[in-house]
Structures are given as structure tokens and as C-alpha cells.
Structure 1
Amino acid sequence: MNIRNSAFKLFRYNFLIEQLIIPTRYRHRIVFENDLQKIRNIGISAHIDSGKTTLTERILYYCGRIDTMHEVRGKDNVGAKMDSMELERQRGITIQSAATYVNWQGANINIIDTPGHVDFTVEVERALRVLDGAILVLCGVGGVQSQTLTVTRQMSRYKVPCIAFINKLDRTGANPIRVINQIRKSIGFNAAFMNIPIGLEGNLRGIVDLIEQKSIYYEGSNGEQTRYDCIPKEMETEAKEKRQELIEAISNVDDFLGELYLEERTPTNDELMAAIRRQCIQRKFVPVFTGSALKNKGVQTMLEGVVDFLPDPSEVKNFAFIHKEGEDEQQQQQVEAHKKIQIKPDRDDKNVFIGLAFKLDATKFGQLTYMRVYQGCIRKGDHIYNSRTKKKVKASRLVRMNANEMEDIEEAYAGDICALFGIDCASGDSFVNDRNSNLSMESIHVPEPVISMSIKTMTKDAMDQFSKAIQRFTKEDPTFRCQWNNDSKEMIVSGMGELHLEIYGQRMEREYNCPVVLGKPKVAFRETLLRPVKFNYLHKRQSGGAGQYGCVIGVLEPLPIEQNTKNVFSDETSGPNVPRWFVPAIRKGFDEMCEKGPLIGHKITGIRFRLQDGKHHVVDSNDIAFQLAAQGAMKQTFDDGRWMVLEPIMHVEVSAPAEYQGELIGLITRRNGLLQSTNEVDNYFIANSEVPLNDMFGFATELRTLTQGKGEYTMEYSRYSPTRNDVQQNLIEKYQQELAEKSSQQTNKMSKKN
């Protein structure tokens, strides 16, 4: 059987080379001058159910990585290659990002398939952080949806160029013209078709290549045979118009092509291809491809676009920053702009090795650390150093991933994505091979959790397994957090949504035999300051011998509204009044007090602690004294300052048949939502709004009831905003009632003891 499979692979590989890549343009478009130019690091991102995993499955098949293609939901009990987790195959969604690699036209393409659901957005964040390019997949029916906008914002954050693929053109209601107009208006991309479909819905037969002005048909049982022909006569006019539209879109941003356009000269195919590549890499133009991954149409042409237009590692600017020993992450970020240096993606092993650990995964062999190599080389058995902890670790095993399969390799160079075993680190840590090197890569943006639930095991015997599961999951996923609440005497887990926490609850039962019970969802409210308030607090204690003495003076002020999810500590002291070695203790006291606010006991965010002056004593001053002084200063601001409650606001997109338009608007209004835009597409009403998360519980049930099960919605975190006065007052009253009940319980316990 193995011999027959190997023979099949060899036959199909030769068949691909001989049959698929026929025209000269497809065989000799790019001349790779060095190994680095052969590499493409790409991610596949989109809104949920746009066909990302199906597309990846086709890419793997056409590149010879798998022998057969399988469906996403695993109806044949196999499932898609990239959805290796059992829960992913049952639910038909991607939960964890998965990495693989293929070879196409001499280029080595590293691919990361990312989740589409907003609850797993951190998987997209860390994938885009280490990738050089991306494929933005859009549904030919749904078009630009809420998570599409989130993904494009993430691409913009990391300056990742992309190409677009309008998928599912075989579905009823598919309309690529509408989708590309949405790309231009909703996202703001300068985009144009690279090819257009021949037929739509059930009549989708192939595509028209606008560069070569030829039609391409994908034949054979799995679309592996490509046949090139003339453009159908009924589409000649449309093809010319779309080609001219493509030239105009590029001419608007490319100087060379713009000059040709003004001179009324038609660019050659090579000139047009070169201009598209230049502007795609600079994120000024997005080539749009069309097809249907499920029906095996257009995937190979899209792959050619990946090689043609997305950058290799040498064409991407990556920066590291130099940090001093003892600087924490916040201090590094404050000086980062002044200390940034551009990394040369050099594959010379004589240069300092720099790599970024962007994803952790626990396997039966131990912790698997996914790493992107930015400079130099790492070999099996090398010793490397964690830039954050300065710990020395050995790369005892080096592998390359193909979903859940591993291939041992001896070395990895700049531009490669590999994985290592036995590396103790956190997601976002940088590694170097020189202990004295102070270089670190820019870390990964991690969004704050917006929802919390209580969690407990069904049996006391499962506590050991529960602890192992929590330790692993919190290490793998920085948006999943767990902590003990002393007030409620409960274990609280926090995450990006109900589905996020529900998935981890199911994984504990399946992977650790630890069934758990999740409590009712709780909103992660925050508390912040309304206006600046001064503090001047002296902590003084004398009990014989050396005492405690520390004084802090300064101002506590609110941060701008766009920064209301973080806190800043600012040391503005000068002179000897507050010795430098006591400042970390003051900051520690400030951080501890931010864990519990004065109004409802939730975390304090959006404030800046400005330490301006203070006093110390030669004998009695110590770390504890200044830590307690900072805590006293915060308590002083609790009494003197004006505080308010912040709540998470969610962007909600609701869609249902147009006949339910009134019900949808009423539903959003009743939940204190702010309607932002409405649209009607193919007799479907779509409403975009912002709704407080606190008002979203039970939304799905009510939506299904009002629309007879025909309504759908997506929700994603937007921002933190001040809550309404009535909600704040109710929260304060509830918190005061809880405090009174706890005080009463403690009094009763004391009286019983006495």
C-alpha cells in the first residue's frame, strides 16, 4: 500500500509539472536569485464559514502534500487535514491555527490556517505577527462581514500585504461584483479583479485571466487538469473592461504605470505584473482572485498569485528593539520607537540568530514551540537564550509542521517557520544565540478578555487534572485566564466570549478526563477616573528598632479614551527625595491597588500614576514602606477622586430575511444598541450596531424566536465605554449588598467561635 501511495504521489507530481503549468508566463515569471526569494510565509484569514480550511485542503492536494481531499465537518470520519482536533471536526470550525508547508512553482510556501470566529482572534493575531503576506478569503454571497473587518485591521496593525480570494461562487446568490465593491467601500482597499468567473452558481465553469486574456478551465475529478482556451465571445467585452479597470487601479498608485497611462500606452504583461507586485507589497493595491474551493475552481491560479505578488522575507521590513537589562515590557515600549533597528533577513549563520516564539502547543512529546526565524540560523542541538529571562535552552529537536504531523529537520534559516521541543517560554518571547545580545522582537498584541464565568470540577478527584489543564491552556492562549476570587470563593475563568470558554470546558473533559461546570457569564467591567486628583501620602510606622517610612506625592489622572484599557506608571521624580531603587516598589503598590476598584470591585484601567516627589528616611525607608505608601496614596484617590464604571461595547452584525426588518431594529433598540448602518442584499436585511455586552445575554434565543430560526448574528469586541448611570448605580448597590452579606457572615462566624 505504501509503495502504491508513493507511486501515486510521484505520478501526480509529474502530472502537475507537465499539465498544470503550461503557458510560458506560468513557468518563467519569477527568477529566484537566492533561497530567500523562494520563501513565502502566508496566512489564510477570513470571516467564519468563508471557506478558509477548505481552500487550504485544496492547496495541500494540488501541491502534492495529501493524496485525497476531505470535507471540513468530517462526514467521512476523516475531516480536513488542518482541522486535526476532534472538536474542530465535530463543530465544523477552526479553533486553533495550524501550520503547514507546500512547494509551488519552485517556491516554498509556509501556510498558517487561522480561525474565523472572533472568540479565537488571538490565533489570528499571532499568526499575522510572523507572516509576510496573507490571503483574505471572502464569501461570494456574504461578502465583507464583521470578522473580515477585524482581520483587515489586524493586517494593518502588522502591515501585512494581502491578496483577496472571492470564494463560494458556486453558491446561490453569489455576486463577485457586489463583493469587490464592498472591499472598496467597507474596507477601503484599492482593489481590482485579476480574473473573473465564467458563469456563477451552478453554472460556474472556469475563470478568465485578465492579464493573459485567456480562459482557464479546471477539469478532472478534482480539478487538477487545467485547460487554457480563448475567452467566450459573450465575455470578451466584460474582460476588456475589467482589464482596463485593473490597469487604471494600478496606475493610480504606481508611478511607472501612471506615466504609461498618461501617455496612452498599453503596458505589457510583464510591466503590469511587476507593477502589481510592487504595489501589493506596499499595501497600496489588493489583487482579487475568484473561484470556488469546494468545486475546485480557481485555486491554482490563486496560488500563482501568492508566488507572483506576495513578498518574500527579504522584501519585508522587520524591526527589533534594543533593551537594557532590568527594563520591563512597558518601559521597553516607551523607548521602543527610539531604539528600533531593522533586521536584515540574512541566512548567513555567522550573524546573530533572532527568532520569535509565536505559538505554544502541548503534545505527548512535551511543549511544542512554533518559531519564526528572522535572522541567522538555528541547528539541532544549538543553545539559544530567551531575551526576556536570559535563560539558556537547548534546541534538542527541530521539526517542520504539517498540521498535526511533524518532520524532523537539522536546521532552519531566516525566513523559515519551524517548531522546537523542550523550550520553556511564553508566547511572544524572543530568542538569540548570543547571551550578550540585547535584541528582542516586537511582541504580539493580546486583546483583553471581555467575559468571565465561574468554573468548578464535578468531582474533587479531578482537581489534579484540572490544574494541569488550566496551566497548559493559560500558557498556550494569553486571552484565556484563570484566577481565584477570594470574595466569592470561586475559580473564575475569563476569555473572549461564551464559545471560547465553552470550548475550553469541553477540552478539559476530552483531553484531561476532567468534566467541569461553567457558571453564568459575567461581564468584565472596569473602573476609571473621571478627572485628575492629587495625592500626598506618608506611610510611617514605628515599633521599636528600624521602622517604616515612605512618602509619595503626585497626580493620578485619566488616560485618553482610546487608551482606557491600560494603566501607565510615570516616574517624574528628580533629586534624592525618592531613591531610584524604591520606584519599583511604588509601582508594585500601584499595580496591586488597580486589581480592585472602589465602586464595584472590578479592575481599574485607563489611569496614569504620576510620581512627582516624595520623602524617605535613611534608616526606616525600605521597599515595603514605599509599597504601602503607594497603596495608601491610591486609597486617598479612591476617597477624593470621581470614579466611573466602564463596560465592553460589542460590534454586532445581525442578518435575517427582509420581512423581519422591524423585529431586528426593535431587538437591537430594546438592548440599548446604537444602530450604525443598515443594508438590504438579495432580500436579506443586515444591521450593524454597537451593543453593550451586558445586554447581549440571551440575544441568540430571542433572535431565533423573532425570525423563526432564520436570523444570524456575529459579535466582536469594539471598545470600553462609560456605562449608563442607571446601570452603574445598580452595579454599585449590588456590590454594597454583597459586601454587607459577607460582613454579616464573618460576624456570625466570630460570634459562634466566641
Structure 2
Amino acid sequence: MRTNLPRLSARSSAGSVSGSAADVRNIGILAHVDAGKTTVTERILFLTGTTHKRGEVHDGTTVTDFDAQERDRGITIFAAAVSCDWDGHRINLIDTPGHVDFADEVERSLRVLDGAIAVFDAVAGVEPQSESVWRQADRYDVPRIAFVNKMDRTGADLDAAVASIRERLHTVPLVVQLPIGQEGGFTGVVDLLGMRAQVWRTDSAAYEVTAIPEELRERADRGRRALEEAVAELHSAAMEEYCANSALRTPTLAAALRDLTLSGEGVVVLCGSAYRNRGIEPLLEAVVSYLPSPVDVPAVRGTWGDTVQERGADPAEAFAGLAFKVNATATGRLTYVRVYSGTITKGDTVMDAGTGRTERIGRILRVQADRHAELDRASAGDIVAVVGLKTARAGSTLCVTGAPLVLEPPTVAAPVVSVAVEASRSVDTGRLSSALARLVEEDPSLTVKVSPETGQTVLSGMGELHLDVAVEKIRRAHGFDIAVGRPQVAYRETVVRGVSGLTYRHVKQDGGAGQFAHVVLDVEPLEGQPFSFASTVVGGRVPQEYVRAVEAGCRDALAEGPLGGHPVTGVRVTLTDGATHSKDSSEMAFRTAGRFALREALRAAGMALLEPVVELTATVPDDTVGGVLGDLASRRGRVTGQAARSGTAILTATVPLAELFGYASQLRGRTQGRGTFTTRAAGYAVVPVGVAAVR
């Protein structure tokens, strides 16, 4: 038997880790809720010697789920960064949330990561939020490897999970391991590259390398052959060797797997059981072997003025970093920064390129979730937290004043659910305002505004759970009670029937210089985009600077639609004609004309109300399907799929978000507590006329 512990001590020693960016892996753990992300993270920390006791989600003893609400709810809410050393490499790892309400946390993390481990449940395969986070990673071209977790569960099926990866994620799974044993009898894996068995006799970190069991030899040979063929089809150098020898040498296969991972043409698939500590060391070896270092990814690109600049992962270059998370703690304000180029040291002055402000870095910290270790410096490729920045926000670019650069910030999704909040006691009103301001600073996907109609403070976010967590965070952190109104969804308005030749003249004369602008607009529906503007004016009847002013005015008008004052989306505006005055025309006059002209056009056009809809996936006992389907129908749900699996039914439906408030308790009641459901955003849909009349 091979015991890992002495080897781990050598592998995880800090002195063995090189300072080169080539020896760094910045990775995230991505998955659907309850697929086992946090347990995978805990086992990695234990295996690398970073922790000396395995944390458990159900016991509330995990390192990354350190927030009190995370431990109470048993889910990851906030992305948590940790660092560990393995085989001469520094691994900076971010454990991300799996619930759809916290997808923005995943988005901000993916913006600064170089690679990711996608974790899938061996029973459920690709689940709705698995697919969503996969698409998020696609947007940022983040290379991934896949880990099929929970192979010890009843109903675990690697082949079915791999098939769902191929069918739902539209990628090529490259399976490099086969399971030894099924369900409760899962004891190890067959390594198809080394053609050997890795067997865990206990739930400890130790495993034994043995020959492939005779009963699995034929399947292993088929698996190796299938892996070689799949790689040869995708990789030109591997194809040449395969055609010459009808096989691939292991070094060729390993190099091709890395190339395909980096290019995104294929995804390496491993399997195991994180809870029982089986398969984690091979997973770490795959992270080092296949996922990129900061020097393997393209140089980061940014802008300054009209120029586009690139910065490579070189400590000697000018410093540039992206702040991706802000956290207010009892000991100070932490700003999490990905260092893309250059080096920063304690006491340095950096500039926020977006605002032009300069600030001093007081301390640099290596983050271990809620614990920190002080550093003297951080170099290209590092992910660290800094103390001392007072105004930098998530998405701010930090750089040196002599080499300014603005990096693309992570995208922030528009909120879809709102609640009115107020302090239960009037003396706490000022404290509530301060607490909400801090909350928005930490989480850009939350917004706060005062309703002009009611004067109430309205908190908006990505879902009912998101807002519930935010309110509870204020209660726990600041010690006062908050009254919360009923959730309301964020409606939109759109054009379904256009209008042509809408003419508007803006004339104002009240002494001194007047205002004159004449515009003619065509307005029509637009698919797939929120807004498009074009000008077909000829002969210089409207100068270009006034055309831009008309566009700005039209954008102003989109803030409030005619049906209910909701934002307008899906509209194409064309400026077809206009006229100017030699003295009284100005950009301000044409902006005003554009705003009022589009408002009139929208009132004349055919408009429809849009509401956010979600894709719901419910897992319920077979004998409760009828009642659940009837309940979904009463909520205006449209069932899109139904499948049976070992005594349960899996229902998928598209349901208006407004109809799902309180659904969790209703589903539990209809299924005697045995039903569960998850949702993911599915865009917006037109509200039926009868329903729209009461909105």
C-alpha cells in the first residue's frame, strides 16, 4: 500500500513552490447546488496539508463556507478564495456558489480565473445550474476539466453522466478514468493513461496502485482505445501518430489532452467520491497537468483612451490588476485582486484607472477563506486581498500611475426581484441606509433605490433567496430588525407593433438663445437586442453631433415605458429626417427632442409587458406527479419535459418568476417533504393580456 502523507508533506511545503507564474494555477470549482463543490474543496485542502481536519458541510465545519448563513443553510452563498501548494505549484482556488440567485458571484470569479473544475453529480449528471455555469465559463474562455462526483451513491452511472455532458454541454468528453466497483462498492479508478488501478482501501488519503482487475481489463482496453480515437480526431499531431501506429504513446496522449483542454475543444473527465476522499489526488494531478498557468493564457487586454494595450504575466512589467470582490470585515475592508502583470509591495501607491484616484496599499494578504497570511509582495499571476483601498469597487482596474490601463470588468446582471425595506424602528433608519450602501458595495448585483411613487427604499437582486440572504446579513451584522415587503419582479416593456414617420418638433423661446430641434423617427420591434439606433438622414439635414444627441435622448426615454413605467427593451429606432436652426439648434435641444419623440412613438406603437421566466426542474415522488403538475399549471407553468428515475419523476417547466414566490413550502406540502426543485433564469416572456391588466 502506498501512503500519501509523507509525500504530501513534501509536496505541500511552501519552500518547494517556485515564484514563477508558470507554477501557479488559478482555478474555480463550478457546479449545480449540492453537487459537492465545497466537499471537493475541503478534500483538496486536507490532501495538500493546508488543513489538518476534513471539514463537512453537514457539520458546519468547512473552511470555505465560513459565513454563519452558509453553515445554517448548508449551501455556498459567497465565493471564497483559498490557496494551497501541490507538487511544486501554488493553487489559488475559488469555491463558487451553485444556486442560481448567486450566479453573479460566479461571474465575477470566472473573470479572473484561468481554469476550472466542473463538478457533476454521478446520479443526476448535468443539472440546470451546471449548464448555466458552463455557459458562463464559455463566455470567458475558461478551460475546464470535469469531475463526476458521488460515485458511491445509489444510482451512480459514469456513462450516463458523460452522455449528459456530451448532449447538454455540446462538448467532447475525454474520459481518462473508469470506476472500480459500483455505488456503495466504489473503491477506486482505472487510470487509462497509466493503464493501472488506483484503489482506496479506506476513506483516508492513502491509495494503492495495483494492476487493473482482470474483470475490468477488457473494458479498460476499450476505454483506452476510445480515448485515443477521440483525441486523434481532434488533435493533428496525435492523428499523425495514430495513423502511423494505430495507437498513441502515453506522452503524446497526455500532451494532446492538455492542448485540447486549453483550446476548449475537449474536456478531460475524471470520477470519484469527494466525501469518501476517493479520487482527489488524481484530480489535483489533472489540475497541474491539464489546466493552464497564467503564462499559458493570452495576455490580458485593456484600453486607455483610444489605444488597446496588452500586459503579459511578467513580474517585471508595469503593474495591472483587477479588483473582483470587496468584503467589509471587522478588521477592515478587503479588496480581492487578481494581479495580471507586474508586482506590488506593501506601501505602494496604485491608481484606480476608472476614477483616477490614487490609494496606498497598507497590507497584502494570502487568503484562506476567513483567515489570512501577510505577504510582502504579490506578482503577476497571484490572487490576493489588499487592505487600505477605500474607494475601489468590484470591477475596478488598479495600475501604476505611469502606465494606466482599464481592464474589462465582469458583467453584472440586471436584478429581477425587488422588495421594499425599512427599519422597524425610526431611529435605525440612518443605520439601514449605511448598511444597504455597504451591502451594494460588496455585491454589485444588488441595487438600492427610493421609489418616486411611495418614497420606500427598494432593494433589488437576483432572486428571493438572494434578497433573503442580504436582509439577514444586515440583521446579523448590525443588530437591528428590518421590515420587508412582498417580493415584486422586475417587468420590462417591449414593442410588438412599430410606428413610422413619428414627427416631433422641439421649440423653446423664453428670452436669450432658444432651442430648436426637428426629428422624424421610425420605431420597430427588435429581436435579440435591447436597443438599436441608426440614422438614414441624407444631405446633412441633421449634423452627426446632433444624431448622437438624438440617440442619447432615445436611450433616456427607454428608462420608463408607457404601460407601467418599466424599462423598455427590444426596440429599433431609425432617425429618418430632421431639421435644424442656424442659431437655436444644439445638442441639448436634439437630445430633448429624441427623448420626447421616442416617448410619443412608444405611446403610439403596440406595446407588450414582459416578465422574467425561469426554467424549473422538480424532482418528486412518482405518486405525487399529478398534483405537482396541476400546481404548476395553476402558476402558468408550461411543462417541457418529464423523465422517470428510480421511483421519482423529474419534471422540467418554464414558469413566470412572479408565480414562484413561496413555491418551496407548497412543493414540500404536496410531496410530504420529499420534493425538491431548482431554477435557472430563462429570459423574459410576454405577459398574457388578462394577467397584464392586473399588473
Instruction: Flag whether TM exceeds 0.5 (same fold).
Output: yes
* Separation (CA, whole Å) in 2 of partners of 1:586 and 1:595: 15
CA RMSD of aligned residues (A): 2.8
1:463 to 414, 425, 429: 429
> Which residue is equivalent to 2:341?
375
> Quick check: 1:319–1:340 contact (8 Å CA) kept in 2?
no
How far is the alpha carbon of 1:368 from its aligned partner? Answer: 1.8
> Quick check: 1:506–1:515 contact (8 Å CA) kept in 2?
no
Indicate how the Cα distance of structure 1 residues 456 and 538 shifts in structure 2: closer, same or farther if over 3 A, else same.
same
> Which residue is equivalent to 2:678?
714
* Separation (CA, whole Å) in 1 of partners of 2:654 and 2:284: 37
* Separation (CA, whole Å) in 2 of partners of 1:606 and 1:116: 30
Indicate how the Cα distance of structure 1 residues 36 and 572 shifts in structure 2: closer, same or farther if over 3 A, else same.
farther
Asked whether 1:408 is paired with 2:390, we answer: no
* Separation (CA, whole Å) in 2 of partners of 1:572 and 1:464: 52
How far is the alpha carbon of 1:32 from its aligned partner? Answer: 11
* Separation (CA, whole Å) in 2 of partners of 1:295 and 1:477: 34
Structure 1 SS opposite 2:693 = helix
Asked whether 1:61 is paired with 2:46, we answer: yes
Asked whether 1:214 is paired with 2:196, we answer: yes
Indicate how the Cα distance of structure 1 residues 324 and 163 shifts in structure 2: closer, same or farther if over 3 A, else same.
same
Asked whether 1:121 is paired with 2:85, we answer: no
Asked whether 1:315 is paired with 2:296, we answer: yes
How far is the alpha carbon of 1:281 from its aligned partner? Answer: 1.0
How does the TM-score come out when normalised to structure 2? 0.92
Q: Over residues 628-655 of structure 1, what are the superposed CA-to-partner deviations in whole Å (9 max), with x where a residue is unaligned?
A: 3333213321332221111112111111
How far is the alpha carbon of 1:40 from its aligned partner? Answer: 0.8
How far is the alpha carbon of 1:478 from its aligned partner? Answer: 2.0
Indicate how the Cα distance of structure 1 residues 455 and 323 shifts in structure 2: closer, same or farther if over 3 A, else same.
same
Q: Over residues 243-273 of structure 1, what are the superposed CA-to-partner deviations in whole Å (9 max), with x where a residue is unaligned?
A: 2222222122112222333344322221111
How does the TM-score come out when normalised to structure 1? 0.85
* Separation (CA, whole Å) in 1 of partners of 2:325 and 2:110: 12
> Which residue is equivalent to 1:166?
148
How far is the alpha carbon of 1:37 from its aligned partner? Answer: 1.7
How far is the alpha carbon of 1:121 from its aligned partner? Answer: 0.3
Letter in 2 for 1:239: A
How far is the alpha carbon of 1:366 from its aligned partner? Answer: 3.5
* Separation (CA, whole Å) in 1 of partners of 2:230 and 2:161: 17
> Which residue is equivalent to 1:641?
605
> Which residue is equivalent to 2:261?
280
How far is the alpha carbon of 1:490 from its aligned partner? Answer: 1.9
> Which residue is equivalent to 2:636?
672
* Separation (CA, whole Å) in 1 of partners of 2:19 and 2:473: 44
Letter in 2 for 1:347: D
Q: Over residues 694-714 of structure 1, what are the superposed CA-to-partner deviations in whole Å (9 max), with x where a residue is unaligned?
A: 333343333223322222111
* Separation (CA, whole Å) in 2 of partners of 1:62 and 1:143: 26
- Residues 291-302 of structure 1 mapped to structure 2, 5 A cutoff: 291-302=272-283
Q: Over residues 102-151 of structure 1, what are the superposed CA-to-partner deviations in whole Å (9 max), with x where a residue is unaligned?
A: 11111111100000000000011111111111000111222211101101
Q: Over residues 390-446 of structure 1, what are the superposed CA-to-partner deviations in whole Å (9 max), with x where a residue is unaligned?
A: 222332322221111222222222221122223322322223224564x43222122
> Quick check: 2:636–2:655 contact (8 Å CA) kept in 1?
yes
* Separation (CA, whole Å) in 1 of partners of 2:118 and 2:208: 26
* Separation (CA, whole Å) in 2 of partners of 1:405 and 1:56: 16
> Quick check: 1:385–1:433 contact (8 Å CA) kept in 2?
yes
> Which residue is equivalent to 1:510?
476
* Separation (CA, whole Å) in 2 of partners of 1:262 and 1:725: 63
- Residues 172-191 of structure 1 mapped to structure 2, 5 A cutoff: 172-191=154-173
Please say which of residues 36-45 and 543-552 is displaced more in the overlay. 543-552
1:384 to 333, 343, 350: 350
How far is the alpha carbon of 1:34 from its aligned partner? Answer: 8.4
> Which residue is equivalent to 1:685?
649
1:601 to 565, 577, 591: 565
> Quick check: 1:359–1:370 contact (8 Å CA) kept in 2?
yes
Please say which of residues 405-414 and 507-516 is displaced more in the overlay. 405-414
* Separation (CA, whole Å) in 2 of partners of 1:361 and 1:584: 39
How far is the alpha carbon of 1:689 from its aligned partner? Answer: 2.1
> Quick check: 1:465–1:513 contact (8 Å CA) kept in 2?
no
> Which residue is equivalent to 2:330?
364
How far is the alpha carbon of 1:310 from its aligned partner? Answer: 0.6
Indicate how the Cα distance of structure 1 residues 18 and 576 shifts in structure 2: closer, same or farther if over 3 A, else same.
closer
* Separation (CA, whole Å) in 2 of partners of 1:165 and 1:352: 37
> Quick check: 1:54–1:72 contact (8 Å CA) kept in 2?
yes
Please say which of residues 99-108 and 607-616 is displaced more in the overlay. 607-616
Indicate how the Cα distance of structure 1 residues 571 and 492 shifts in structure 2: closer, same or farther if over 3 A, else same.
farther
How far is the alpha carbon of 1:605 from its aligned partner? Answer: 1.9
> Which residue is equivalent to 1:304?
285
> Which residue is equivalent to 2:505?
538
Higher helix share: 1
Q: Over residues 497-555 of structure 1, what are the superposed CA-to-partner deviations in whole Å (9 max), with x where a residue is unaligned?
A: 11110011100100112321221121211011224434432222223334444444444
Structure 1 portions without partners, runs of 5+: 1-10, 22-30, 326-338, 732-754
> Quick check: 1:140–1:179 contact (8 Å CA) kept in 2?
yes
Structure 2 portions without partners, runs of 5+: none
Letter in 1 for 2:27: I
> Quick check: 1:20–1:224 contact (8 Å CA) kept in 2?
no
- Residues 131-210 of structure 1 mapped to structure 2, 5 A cutoff: 131-210=113-192
> Quick check: 1:73–1:91 contact (8 Å CA) kept in 2?
no
- Residues 22-61 of structure 1 mapped to structure 2, 5 A cutoff: 35-61=20-46
* Separation (CA, whole Å) in 2 of partners of 1:529 and 1:173: 49
Asked whether 1:657 is paired with 2:649, we answer: no
How far is the alpha carbon of 1:340 from its aligned partner? Answer: 5.8
* Separation (CA, whole Å) in 2 of partners of 1:86 and 1:661: 36
> Quick check: 1:474–1:482 contact (8 Å CA) kept in 2?
yes
> Which residue is equivalent to 1:97?
79
Letter in 1 for 2:379: Y
Please say which of residues 388-397 and 108-117 is displaced more in the overlay. 388-397
> Which residue is equivalent to 1:740?
none
Letter in 2 for 1:292: S
How far is the alpha carbon of 1:15 from its aligned partner? Answer: 4.4
* Separation (CA, whole Å) in 1 of partners of 2:610 and 2:143: 35
Counting aligned pairs with the same residue, the percent is 35
> Quick check: 2:57–2:71 contact (8 Å CA) kept in 1?
yes
> Which residue is equivalent to 2:231?
250
- Residues 692-711 of structure 1 mapped to structure 2, 5 A cutoff: 692-711=656-675
* Separation (CA, whole Å) in 1 of partners of 2:347 and 2:545: 40
> Which residue is equivalent to 2:218?
237
* Separation (CA, whole Å) in 2 of partners of 1:669 and 1:626: 49
> Quick check: 2:12–2:49 contact (8 Å CA) kept in 1?
no
Please say which of residues 229-238 and 283-292 is displaced more in the overlay. 229-238
How far is the alpha carbon of 1:13 from its aligned partner? Answer: 6.9
* Separation (CA, whole Å) in 1 of partners of 2:95 and 2:11: 28
Letter in 2 for 1:225: A
* Separation (CA, whole Å) in 2 of partners of 1:368 and 1:599: 44
* Separation (CA, whole Å) in 2 of partners of 1:580 and 1:393: 40
> Which residue is equivalent to 2:321?
355
